[in-house]
A and B are shown apart, each in its own frame.
Chain A
Amino acid sequence: MKKGVRIGLGGVLILVLLVGNVFAAFPRPVGFVNDYINVIDPESKNEMEALARKVREEQGIEIAVVTLDSTEGMSIEEYAVELFNDWGIGSSTEDSGLLMLLILGEEQREIRVEVGYQLEGILPDGKVGAILDQYVLPYFYEGQWGQGLLTGMKAYVAELSGEEFELAEERDNDFVKTVVSFFILMMLLMIFGSRTPFIMGPGRRSSRGYVPPTRGPRGGGGFGGFGGFGGGRSGGGGASRRF
């Protein structure tokens, strides 16, 4: 009888452990952009994939975009750092990753940008939050999820490339102007700066001290696919917004 109870308890324990594991399991990455709930329009998705691939090839920085409908009872901060480290976004030697996690659920509408260890110096939490306020949320208020994520990603990429990204003191007023001029700048840089992008911007501050690591394309993938993340880690840096 006692033995039976013990076996029963053991079984329950194993079950709990198994369920716990299933509970904590994260979805597998399918690319740089992981739109699990289908809220990103195809144009934005393609542009983000292309930009993320370019940034990885040229700077060794990996950017992941994820959309989900819940964080399974965890806070978005907790979920983001666990997901970041589970996927290993960024190279394992440099922890140079960035995760943009958008949660759109019945009761939960949040975004978090989680920053890898290495990028914390160049993307401090305050700046991460300011970019969310200024470039991402205005699109989100209009339900343009893809456009918001794309604009945010461009802002982070510009920041990571040492480009001075003007954070206006007054928001809304200059918002359209800034976005438009930013797009023009991006276009110019894409056209003229394909080999050494973002280096010629007049606002570049060399005192910033961060020179993004340049490295060749990895794995010889050429135009090839995504090929998984590099094993980078994060310690909880970044910023979140509820909307």
Chain B
Amino acid sequence: MVKKGLIIAGIVVLLLVIVVIGQYNSLVNLETGVDAAWAQVENQMQRRADLIPNLVNTVKGFASHEQQIFEDIAAARSRLLNAQTPEDQMEANNSLDTALGRLLMVVENYPTLKADASFIRLQDELAGTENRIAYARKEYNEAVEKWNRSIRRFPTVLIARMFGKDPYPYFQASEQAREVPQVQF
């Protein structure tokens, strides 16, 4: 009788262990997904940072006295490149968005620059990279959403607590990036 009880207890424990392993692995998959999506975001932010010196140099050739905006862009860019945590990177990326938005506004005042073939090419590359960042950000946020949901849900919440798993931050697009730029006189 006691023996039978032990066997049943053993089977229950075994099943429990299997369930825990399964849940743990599903969490690992989700977290790997978040990491991979973030790597893609970083990749594209880096790509944009690499493009900026070319763009700035081209604009400088036509509008050398717009010193302030060049300095702002350089500062935002180096902040992005030196950022350590994802939160810092997101913030620096958003301030780079703002600075670049202002640069493109300034460009409006220089018709010859706007019509310059190499500037148009750079602008296409920049727009393409921004579009890639937007897409990578969307994929990242989707992965984060899945992750954050599953570490709050039963039963994965137990496993997440056990292994100290934290929610990841969403990557919010900067407010300025969505606003239509305002020209200041």
Contacts and interface: CB of A to CB of B under 8 A. Distances in A.
Interface in A152-199: 167, 169
A239 B129 CA distance: 10
A236 B125 contact: no
Contacts of A128: 124, 128
Interface string A48-79: 00000000000000000000000000000110
A238 interface: yes
A235 B135 contact: yes
Residue from A77, A125, A130 having most chain B Cβ neighbours under 10 A: A125
A125 B18 CA distance: 49
Interface in B10-47: 40
A169 B119 CA distance: 12
Given A125-B125, A126-B125, A236 B120 contact: no
Chain A CB within 10 Å — which of B122, B131, B132, B134 has the most? B131
B132 A237 contact: yes
A138 interface: no
Main secondary structure of the interface of B (DSSP, over half): helix
B136 A238 contact: no
Contact of A236 (B122, B124, B132): B132
Nearest to B126: A125
Nearest to A124: B125
A235 B127 contact: no
A120 to B, nearest CB: 9
A77 B124 contact: no
Nearest 3 A/B pairs, CB to CB: A125-B128, A126-B121, A129-B124
Interface of A: 77-78, 81, 124-130, 133, 167, 169, 235-240
29 contacts: A77-B134, A78-B134, A81-B131, A81-B135, A124-B125, A124-B128, A125-B124, A125-B127, A125-B128, A126-B121, A126-B122, A126-B124, A127-B121, A128-B128, A129-B120, A129-B121, A129-B123, A130-B120, A130-B124, A169-B117, A235-B40, A235-B132, A235-B136, A236-B132, A236-B136, A237-B128, A238-B131, A239-B124, A240-B127
